[in-house]
Amino acid sequence: MERIQEEAPILANERLQGDYYQVDMHAPAIAAATQPGQFAHVQLPGFEHRILRRPFSIYDVDADTGRLSIIYKIVGEGTAHLATLPEGTVLDLLGPLGVGFSTPPTGARPIVVAGGYGCAATYLFAKHSPAPPLVLVGGRSAGDILLQQELAELGCEVRISTDDGSQGHHGLVTALVEQA
């Protein structure tokens, strides 16, 4: 698949919870070519001196409007800067990258395991899956559990596990895998 470099103005950049944010951009060429499980490399304005772009899983796309969304967590200087960028700021995107997820056979119920902002790729997969998957979400605490309602609205059964027991099963998400 062809990689596309595209100038993408920010449409919205909003805090979801804690240090997690969602940025929506206008990137029609990349949005039209994206498959579930792919990602984009982002070059932030003011960070051109950095050799490497930052990779982000693509959360959702709307090929009709050209909207492409990613979810990110502030973990360092780059994502802290990204969280401050207002609507209209232009980001330099390269994507879609990666092979993406295989489409499950018709009639099969996929099981997906994700955690934190890793749930971003799960959403687009669930949206395009022939059958709603069982989604097992893990996190350190309830503050790291994302997209539970959005996945449920797609018809997914969502099971939660937190290391500290603040939501769902108390323990690692691998225990939920063993129960599935």
User: CA-to-CA distance for 68 and 48, rounded, in angstroms?
Assistant: 22
Strand partners, 114: 137
This prediction's pTM: 0.91
Predicted local confidence at residue 16, as pLDDT: 96
Predicted local confidence at residue 104, as pLDDT: 81
Predicted local confidence at residue 98, as pLDDT: 95
Instruction: Tell me the two tokens of residue 2.
Output: 């062809």
Q: How far is CA 15 from CA 44, 71, 82, 172, 179, in A?
A: 18, 10, 11, 26, 33
Q: From the options 3.90.420.10, 3.40.50.2300, 2.40.30.10, 3.20.20.70, give the CATH code of 4-97.
A: 2.40.30.10
CATH architecture classification, 111-179: 3-Layer(aba) Sandwich (3.40)
Predicted local confidence at residue 118, as pLDDT: 86
**pLDDT tens-place values along the chain, 180 residues long:** 678 999 999 999 999 999 999 999 999 999 999 999 999 999 988 877 777 889 999 999 999 999 999 999 999 999 999 999 999 999 999 999 999 998 888 888 899 999 888 889 999 999 999 899 999 999 999 999 999 999 999 999 999 999 999 999 999 998 998 887
Instruction: Tell me the two tokens of residue 37.
Output: 């499980």
Predicted local confidence at residue 1, as pLDDT: 62
Segments making up each domain of the chain, as ranges: 4-97, 111-179
